[in-house]
Amino acid sequence: MNKAIIRLKNSLNRGTQSLFRCDFHTSDAINQHLEEKVILTKDRYPNMKRGKFAELQGSHIQHFINLLGPTRVLTDPNDVEPYNIDWIKVVRGYSGIVLKPKTTQEVSEILKFCNSERLAVCTQGGNTGLVGGSVPVFDEVILSMSLMNKVIDINPLSGTLICEAGCVLENLDSALEEHNLMMPLDLGAKGSCHIGGNISTNAGGLRLIRYGSLHGSVLGVEAVLANGDVMDVLNVLKKDNTGYHLRHLFIGSEGTLGVVTKASIHCPPRPKALNLAFLGTDSFKNVLNILQLAKSCLSEILSSCEMIDDPSISAVIRNLGVNSPIGQFPFYVLIETSGSHTAHDEEKLNAFLEKAMAESYVLDGTVTNEPSRMQVLWQLRERIAEALLKDGPVYKYDVSLPVEHFYGIVPLLQEKLRGTSAEIVTGYGHIGDGNVHLNITSKFYDQDLVHDVIEPFVFKWVADHNGSISAEHGIGFKKTEFLHYSKKPGAIALMKQMKTLMDPNGILNPYKVLPED
Amino acid sequence: MNKAIIRLKNSLNRGTQSLFRCDFHTSDAINQHLEEKVILTKDRYPNMKRGKFAELQGSHIQHFINLLGPTRVLTDPNDVEPYNIDWIKVVRGYSGIVLKPKTTQEVSEILKFCNSERLAVCTQGGNTGLVGGSVPVFDEVILSMSLMNKVIDINPLSGTLICEAGCVLENLDSALEEHNLMMPLDLGAKGSCHIGGNISTNAGGLRLIRYGSLHGSVLGVEAVLANGDVMDVLNVLKKDNTGYHLRHLFIGSEGTLGVVTKASIHCPPRPKALNLAFLGTDSFKNVLNILQLAKSCLSEILSSCEMIDDPSISAVIRNLGVNSPIGQFPFYVLIETSGSHTAHDEEKLNAFLEKAMAESYVLDGTVTNEPSRMQVLWQLRERIAEALLKDGPVYKYDVSLPVEHFYGIVPLLQEKLRGTSAEIVTGYGHIGDGNVHLNITSKFYDQDLVHDVIEPFVFKWVADHNGSISAEHGIGFKKTEFLHYSKKPGAIALMKQMKTLMDPNGILNPYKVLPED
Ligand SMILES: Cc1cc2nc3c(=O)[nH]c(=O)nc-3n(C[C@H](O)[C@H](O)[C@H](O)COP(=O)(O)OP(=O)(O)OC[C@H]3O[C@@H](n4cnc5c(N)ncnc54)[C@H](O)[C@@H]3O)c2cc1C
Ligand SMILES: Cc1cc2nc3c(=O)[nH]c(=O)nc-3n(C[C@H](O)[C@H](O)[C@H](O)COP(=O)(O)OP(=O)(O)OC[C@H]3O[C@@H](n4cnc5c(N)ncnc54)[C@H](O)[C@@H]3O)c2cc1C
């Protein structure tokens, strides 16, 4: 050994608790502070036609009771109702039944039966999806995965987790904590969403810049196909090149190609140190400079890079009484680091800050590693959606753009909407991933403005700039007609062929993801 | 700012050059130091039957010349011959033609024509594949991607690269260097292999523990389907949930579902500091302890963790005259760190080493950050394959196992082979990813021992321990009959259905990946 051996600093702050972050986006173009009863989807969208599926009969119900027993087949309308309505209370089906399987075998029997009887099925995880994918459009049988919630194995050595699809994300993260591991994804809905739902929507969230997407983290899945066949590719291996990589068919296909029943996940070591900086700057160009400098100086410890514009922060300050620790600037950037060594991480962060200030990228800022102060700072980012809603209905779009175009649409849309009911346009989001949340605050809900002016403009601009019209939330029920803005006809045609191959009777989550012919 | 601001140390060692590492594995169960002419595959495997494809006619050749001009259509046997033989000179087709398209449009025209004429096609990248996938089995038309070698765009801000599929991996890494970015994968064949070949084989390599698999790094692809249709999902977005994630169909499908023509890749920042430790230990149990401690102490900077057993190192010392810097131990571990801060990385590494020695996991070791010394240390790992071959024919298997079973098969196989021609069994490999290279040195090549004793035992043991019979190299031509050891019948059936859907005439790389019915 020709090197000095230095002790790990005692100050190592093991198991720093992770912060609760609510990255709540209400749905696109929907005002969500109404109290009234949710309109049935079939009435809200009168042009939607129910597919040629069977209607639920007493004999079907009896078959399900024989299979699951009476307590795991819900048919009382009061019991079924919550499963018919989505989290943001915008879409509502009128299914008469909820099934709660406990095993893969039961899921298989259910789908086999539904397939042969031509009963349509809507699989539901934590029901936190934001595009209407998790509830029936008409009277589809609801398959709730909530009782398939067992952790099957945690292997601390290889950093792998195997669990059933109905496990709640936050519970998995807690189970991993004692092994000094963590879930590679984190989102505001973590207290309710299931890992099966996360996989089916390819959920992104706040840590993607550091831990990558689920296509990288999911090592294997077990899924049941429409005909009841069990597809077992529940691998825990990091390297396995034996044939087509089928698990990716189920990541992001929103329950239309199969029901995910189990998953194995690669789980990184839990960070021992967390730091958060909240910075003010004068231009979007300097936001980009900050991002680039952060990537270079913070590199492997950069775990979040969020941008917020002044109208967004102002709404939080004005409407929620939260204080900003720094003066007013056109733009703000939140930088989070997570790493394995407190002193090193602080030193890197300080070097970054010094440089950013010397170059005048950053004009003012504050930095902390105290959990309570971090929580306060995160509020400035997390409570924007809530704050904006206090000013009136908000039309919201969750889009991805090449990072240089991240903010470009905001001033253009502002210009376009001048003199209308919806004059205030704001933008914030995961700039590290090019994922911007575009918000338009309106005086009242104006359906024509949304459909005739805002949506065509936003989706076309995003498409013209090689962006994605749905960065994280998926297509679900609500965006099928816009899919063509982000996917070419050839790709959509292949998707349809795959759907036909894997679900020839179309029983799995019909009316979702793919547009009508 | 309530924190001390400390300057980045001047010692930051920007752009430390990456080391050449030859992670060369000859093929499974094949002795590769023969000089003689390679036997035609059709003669070596007399039971293989040529599919009902058309035979190449003068009119076909004329059509291709009209399309590409005369210089990009090779038909002279001397020109064609190198494309018929694989890198390790084990399989050899007898194709009469090589086509060298320069554009996606040309690839499209070629496939459209081949599909309508029922001409089988074998796509070839750098021809470094190790399972016979990259050369024709019979007389398939060879589609060489080598002229599609343009870098289309590097975006330093978002860390993304767009390029044509025929770009050589090392060239891409060099092009990224000036932007302080790197390719997320590294392998011994990097001077020859193409990014299109890497994607088609889902190449793993030495940095997977740090940068993850290509399913995480590849953001988009453009591919041409069997019928000539261009599938353009060439996204540069990190978040895009619009429909099925089709690009994953082409990652790891070894040219049987489409020809990859372009790709976009997420490229991480280039590390500024590299360190390498070479450690000796007394048991496999302590190898696992070292792995776990390295993951915990080195966490985000751990970029390689390789295990080597004593017979492997001894062969390098004995047969190649390389010196080991430490005494003799039953097992050795190589640990590489790459990070953004020299002093921090060294401090973390030293803390890890101190702990590993205090716990007696490590009995002796050496550590360095000097490029020339690192190169010498890497030789002890990289030249094992070469060294073992000096003792006679070597039967080689590239398998994945849950990490606790990583070495289990070595002593068992040794026991089983006692008294045969093949008594020396060694194991080494990427323990961080559970990927072990199993080597059996023999006095002479004994086909019966391989087929009747070794292969059934190895593949069954791997399958029984939930491993993969091909960790990195794929199935290609040579492993189709063993696919069932790692994939269940339901999964293989779905693979076949997908093949039929996407290539109904079976013209793309026939005889590869999927077993005959
Ligand atoms: C407060 C809040 C914050 C959010 N933040 C983010 C964020 O940062 N990033 C992000 O990506 N999303 C976010 N979302 C959206 C949502 O949480 C995610 O889409 C989540 O992954 C959905 O999981 P779930 O279990 O609730 O699925 P559900 O809502 O129940 O279902 C979603 C879709 O998946 C299907 N599905 C569910 N389970 C299965 C299964 N086992 N097999 C097959 N199909 C299944 C459903 O049919 C449906 O199409 C947020 C939502 C809320 C309410
Ligand atoms: C010295 C050495 C070290 C190696 N180390 C590693 C390692 O560490 N990890 C690892 O995973 N592999 C390793 N390999 C194996 C090999 O390098 C990889 O499989 C590599 O990714 C193959 O790339 P290629 O361009 O040479 O592809 P080829 O060998 O030309 O082709 C491989 C397969 O991909 C298909 N293909 C190629 N290009 C395309 C395309 N554009 N579109 C569709 N299909 C295509 C071919 O038809 C064939 O089936 C090593 C090989 C050598 C010789």
pLDDT digits (tens, 9 = 90+) for B446-493: 989 999 999 999 999 999 999 999 999 999 999 999 999 999 999 999
pLDDT of residue A206: 83
* Alpha-carbon gap, residue B92 to B80, rounded angstroms: 12
Q: Does residue B245 have a pLDDT over 70?
A: yes
- Render A137-151 in DSSP notation, one character per residue: SSSPEEEE-TT---E
Query: ∠ CA B378-B380-B386 to the nearest 5 degrees?
Result: 110
pLDDT of residue B32: 44
Distance A84 CA to ligand 1 centre (A): 15
Which among B121, B163, B187, B468 is the best mutation to test ligand 2's pocket, defined by most ligand atoms within 8 Å of the CB? B187
Residue with tokens 């978002």: B158
* B319 neighbors B387 (Cβ within 8 angstroms): yes
Selected residue of B1, B232, B244, B398 to mutate for chain A interface (largest A Cβ count, 10 A):
B244
Instruction: Pick A208's closest partner by Cβ from B6, B238, B479.
Output: B238
The answer on B279 and B196 residing in a single domain is no
Does residue B349 sit in helix, strand or coil? helix
The answer on B302 and B210 residing in a single domain is no
The answer on B285 and B234 residing in a single domain is no
The H or E element spanning position A296 is: helix A284-298
The answer on B449 and B311 residing in a single domain is yes
Query: What does the CA dihedral B346, B352, B354, B356 come to, rounded to 10 degrees?
Result: -150
* Alpha-carbon gap, residue B517 to A427, rounded angstroms: 56
Chain A residue closest in CA terms to B432: A158
Query: Final residue of a domain: which of B419, B443, B465?
Result: B465
- Asked if A239's CB is within 8 angstroms of B253's CB, the reply is no
Atom of ligand 2 nearest to the CA of B198: 21
* B64 neighbors B75 (Cβ within 8 angstroms): no
* Alpha-carbon gap, residue A97 to A74, rounded angstroms: 6
Q: Does residue B51 have a pLDDT over 80?
A: yes
Residue pairs between chains A and B whose CB atoms are closer than 8 Å: 328
pLDDT of residue B36: 59
Pairing between strand A141-144 and A98-99? parallel
What's the domain count of chain A? 2
Pocket of ligand 2 (CB under 6 A): B 22-24, 87, 122-130, 133-134, 145, 165, 187-189, 193-194, 196-198, 200-201, 203-205, 254-255, 259-260, 472-473, 476, 509, 512
Chain A residue closest in CA terms to B491: A231
Write the burial class of residue B71 (CB in 10 Å: 0-12 exposed, 13-18 middle, 19+ buried): exposed
Q: Which residues of chain A have pLDDT under 70?
A: 1-36
* Alpha-carbon gap, residue B140 to A230, rounded angstroms: 36
Domain membership flag for residue B121: no
Question: Does residue A252 have its Cβ closer than 6 Å to ligand 1?
Answer: no
* Alpha-carbon gap, residue B218 to A248, rounded angstroms: 13
Distance B198 CA to ligand 2 centre (A): 5
| Non-local CB neighbours of B198 within 8 Å, separated by 6+ positions | B125, B169, B185, B187, B214
Structure tokens of A495? 């998707």
Taking alpha carbons only, the member of B252, B147, B255, B126 closest to residue B193 is: B126
Distance B226 CA to ligand 1 centre (A): 35
Atom of ligand 1 nearest to the CA of A474: 19
The answer on A376 and A298 residing in a single domain is yes
Domain membership flag for residue B21: no
Atom of ligand 1 nearest to the CA of A195: 25
Q: Which residues of B touch A347 (CB under 8 A)?
A: 6, 341, 344
CA distances from residue B449 to A236, B131, B312, B437, B444 in whole angstroms, order as listed: 31, 20, 22, 19, 11
Domain membership flag for residue A95: no
Domain membership flag for residue A121: no
Q: Does residue B17 have a pLDDT over 70?
A: no
Query: Final residue of a domain: which of A266, A297, A320?
Result: A266
Domain membership flag for residue A130: no
* Nearest CA residue ID for atom 27, ligand 1: A197
**CATH assignment of the domain containing A437:** 3.30.70.2190
Domain membership flag for residue A481: no
**CATH assignment of the domain containing A247:** 3.30.465.10
The answer on B298 and B338 residing in a single domain is yes
Q: Which residues of A touch B201 (CB under 8 A)?
A: 241
Query: Final residue of a domain: which of A240, A266, A292?
Result: A266
The answer on A333 and A255 residing in a single domain is no
Domain membership flag for residue A430: yes
Query: What does the CA dihedral A221, A224, A229, A234 come to, rounded to 10 degrees?
Result: 10
CA distances from residue A107 to A58, A167, B4, B247 in whole angstroms, order as listed: 20, 16, 58, 29
- Asked if A216's CB is within 8 angstroms of B240's CB, the reply is no
Instruction: Pick A470's closest partner by Cβ from B241, B402, B434.
Output: B241
* Alpha-carbon gap, residue B196 to B250, rounded angstroms: 10
pLDDT of residue A430: 93
Domain membership flag for residue A137: no
The answer on B392 and B293 residing in a single domain is yes
pLDDT of residue A406: 87
Ligand with smallest separation from the Cα of B189: 2
The answer on B306 and B419 residing in a single domain is yes
CB atoms within 10 A of CB A482: 21
Q: Which residues of A touch B253 (CB under 8 A)?
A: 244-245
| Non-local CB neighbours of A507 within 8 Å, separated by 6+ positions | A53, A111, A114, A115, A118, A119, A120, A121, A226
- Asked if B212's CB is within 8 angstroms of A434's CB, the reply is no
The answer on B253 and B276 residing in a single domain is no
What HEC string does A342-374 produce?
Answer: HHHHHHHHHHHHHHHHHCCCCCEEEEECCHHHH
- The Cα of A296 is separated from the nearest Cα of chain B by a number of Å equal to 7
Q: Which residues of B touch A353 (CB under 8 A)?
A: 1, 3, 5
pLDDT digits (tens, 9 = 90+) for B144-186: 999 999 999 999 989 999 999 999 999 999 999 999 999 999 9
The answer on B300 and B196 residing in a single domain is no
CA distances from residue A290 to A139, A426, B154 in whole angstroms, order as listed: 50, 20, 19
Ligand with smallest separation from the Cα of B306: 2
How large is the C-alpha radius of gyration of chain B? 24
pLDDT of residue A35: 46
pLDDT digits (tens, 9 = 90+) for B382-391: 899 899 999 9
Chain A residue closest in CA terms to B362: A1
Structural domain harbouring B420: 272-465
* Alpha-carbon gap, residue B511 to B135, rounded angstroms: 11
Taking alpha carbons only, the member of A308, A314, A329, A324 closest to residue A430 is: A308
The answer on B448 and B332 residing in a single domain is yes
